[in-house]
Structure 1
C-alpha cells in the first residue's frame, strides 16, 4: 500500500510517539487527521509545538476513544487508521486499573468496530513489549507467552486479543505492532531515559531511580515511527503481531553510566522506593527478536543507542523548561 494521498487517522496524535508519527505522515504526503483527547482548553499536546507548515497540513479533531458515537464520526471516510491512543503509565495502573480497561480495552474495541463498519483498508494497532512480561527466553519473538504483570500490561494484552478477534471473526485488515522501549524527544519524564537526562540537566547532584538491574531493548522514536510506516505499507502484515525492537539489551545501571558519560557530569544514583514496582510485577528482562519485521518489511533500526541518546539530550537541553524535574508523577 502506498500511503501517499491516503486519508489517514492517528489516534493519540498529541502524545509522544503519535506526534512523531503524525509529522512523518505529513512528510509522506498523506491526508492526516489527528485525533486528540478532548479537553476544554482545546490543547493539542505536542502538535502545538509543530512547525506551522506541518501543523497547517493536519486536520486536528478532539474526541475520546471511550465514546463510540464520536469515534464513528471521526473514522468515517478514513482509509488507514494508526491506533496509538492509550493509557500508558505503568505506575498509575496500580492505582486505577479500571481506567486502563476502559481506555485500552473498551476504547480499542470502539476503534476497531468503527473501522469494521466503515471498511477501513488498514488498521495498525499499537501493542507494547510489556505484554511479554519478564522474558522466559531471549531474544523474545512473537510466539513468546503473554504475561499480565501489571494492570497496564493486562489491559494491552486484552486490546491485542480484541484486535486478533476482529481479524479472525470479521476479516478486519489489522496488524498489531509491538514496539519495545521507545525513547526520544517529547517523552514523558516518567520514562527512564527522560527522567535520567532531565534530572542530570537540571543540576541535581543525585538522581532518583527505581530498580537498576532490569534490562530493556531501547529504540529511538524515529525508528519506531518508521516501523509503523513499514507495517502499514506492507500487505503481508495483515493479521500479524510484529515486534519492533533493536535486538540489543542493556541494563538500567549500564544505561545510566552511558548517559552520564555522554553528558559528562558525575552524579550519585539513589534508589527511590516510590519508583520500584511490586516484586512480582517488575519486568526484569526485555530483548526483542526483530527477525519477523525485518523479513516482512525490511525494517531495521537506523539509530544506535548512543546516537539516539545524543539527540534526546540535545532536545531536552532546549526544552527542559517543559519538565518538572523535581516532581515524580506516576
Structure 2
C-alpha cells in the first residue's frame, strides 16, 4: 500500500488541485506546494476546502535547498510543477528549462537524499509530437516540436536517469490532454466554454483539424494514484488516456450542442502554431496502465464536457476568467 505522507508539487494548478482533493478523500496526509508569490495566493488551492490533513506551503522547485527541505519525512512525491503553455514557450524557452528540467533535477536529488519511497514524475503526451502511428503507446518515438515539449523530454530523461543510476523508485506518468473545471483559459475547451457563456457570437481560434485524446481531470488524477500504487510501475513510463480520438472541430461542436449555442468559429493567424510545431494527432494507447492497475476511464467525452460546462456556468467560477483576452 502507498504510504500516507504525500507531497504534491504544482498543487496550485489545474490538475494538481484536483489531485490534492482526491488524495485527501483517500485519507492521505498532503503537503501541497504552491508557487511562491508576494500576494500570498495559492492558485486553485483556494478552491479546495480546508482539511486537517492538508498543509499548504509556498516556494519554488528551481531552488535545490528548498526542495531538500520540503521532501523531508515525505513518503511519496507527485511532481506536477511545470511551465506548460506551449505558445509562451516560443517566447521564453529558458524559463521552461529552468523550471521543467532543473526543477525536476532538484526534486529527484532531494528525494534520493531524503529516501522518498515513491516518486511520480509528470510527463505529457506532447513529448510524442504528431503521431507516427496510432494509438500511441509508450514506445512511440519522442519528438521535440516546441520548446515546451523539448523541456519535458529533458525532464523525463532526467527523472528516469535517477531510477537507472540511483534506483530512485520512480515512475513517469504521461497524461494525454486533460480538461475539466479550473483549467486555464490558455487551453481550447475552457476558452470556448467561457466565451460562449459570456455571450460571444464569434470566437477566434487556431487550427481545428488536429485530433486529441481528451481526458476528464478526475480520470487523470485516478490514473496518477493507480500508477503510484502499482509496484510494477516503478521504472516505467505509463500513459494515462481514454483510447478515444476526437478532432478539435468535433469537440467544439459538441460543446456548442451541450450549451445550445449558435456561436461561429473563425480562424485567427495569431493562434496558429508554426507549421512544424503543430501536433496534428494524439491518440492514447492505454493498455499498459490497465495491465499495471485496475484503472479505466470513468467519463465519456460528453459526460466530462457536460460536467465542465456546468462548473463554468456558475457565476462565481465564470468571473475568474478574462474571456476577452488571448491567454498565452
The equivalent of 1:297 in structure 2 is 293
Runs of at least 4 residues off by over 6 Å: none
- Residues 159-170 of structure 1: pairs in structure 2 closer than 5 A: 159-170=155-166
Out of 1, 10, 17, the residue aligned to residue 12 of structure 1 is: 10
Q: Distance in 2 between matches of 1:143 and 1:48?
A: 38
CA contact (8 A) 2:28 2:53 kept: no
Equivalent in the alignment of 1:38: 36
Q: Secondary structure at the match of 1:113?
A: helix
- 1:2 is aligned to 2
Q: CA deviation at 1:131?
A: 0.1
Secondary structure, in 3 states, of the residue corresponding to 2:313? Answer: helix
CA-CA distance at 1:2 after TM superposition: 3.3
Task: After TM superposition, give the deviation of residue 51 of structure 1 in Å.
Answer: 2.1
User: Alignment partner of 2:30: what SS?
Assistant: strand
* Counterparts of 1:15 and 1:153, CA distance in 2: 19
How big is each residue's C-alpha offset from its partner over 1:1-43, in whole Å with a ceiling of 9 and x where there is no partner? 234xx11000000000000000111111111100111111111
Q: Take 1:126 and 1:263, find their aligned partners in 2: how far apart are those partners?
A: 32
Is 1:152 matched up with 2:157? no
The answer to whether 1:79 aligns with 2:93 is no
CA distance in 2, matches of 1:280, 1:100: 20
- 1:223 aligns to 2:219 (yes or no): yes
From 106, 115, 122, give the equivalent of 1:119.
Answer: 115
Residue of structure 2 in register with 1:27 after alignment:
25
Counterpart in the other structure of 2:105: 109
Residue 188 of structure 1 corresponds to 184
Deviates more, 1:298-307 or 1:43-52: 43-52
Q: Structure 2 unaligned runs (5+)?
A: none
TM-superposition CA deviations, 1:106-154 (whole Å, max 9, x none): 0000000000001100000000000000000000000000000000000
The equivalent position to 2:230 in structure 1, one of 227, 231, 234, is 234
| Higher mean C-alpha displacement, 203-212 vs 125-134 | 203-212
Cα shift at 1:314: 0.5
1:98 maps to 94
What's the secondary structure of 1:322's corresponding residue?
coil
> What TM-score, normalized by structure 1, do the two folds share?
0.98
Query: 2:61 is matched with which residue?
Result: 65
Show CA shifts across 1:261-281 (max 9, x none). 111010110111111100000
For residue 310 of structure 1, the aligned residue among 300, 306, 309 is 306
What is the CA–CA distance in structure 2 between the aligned matches of 1:196 and 1:283, rounded to whole Å? 20
CA apart distance, 1:57: 2.9
1:244 alignment partner in structure 2:
240
Q: CA deviation at 1:329?
A: 1.9
CA distance in 2, matches of 1:271, 1:57: 47
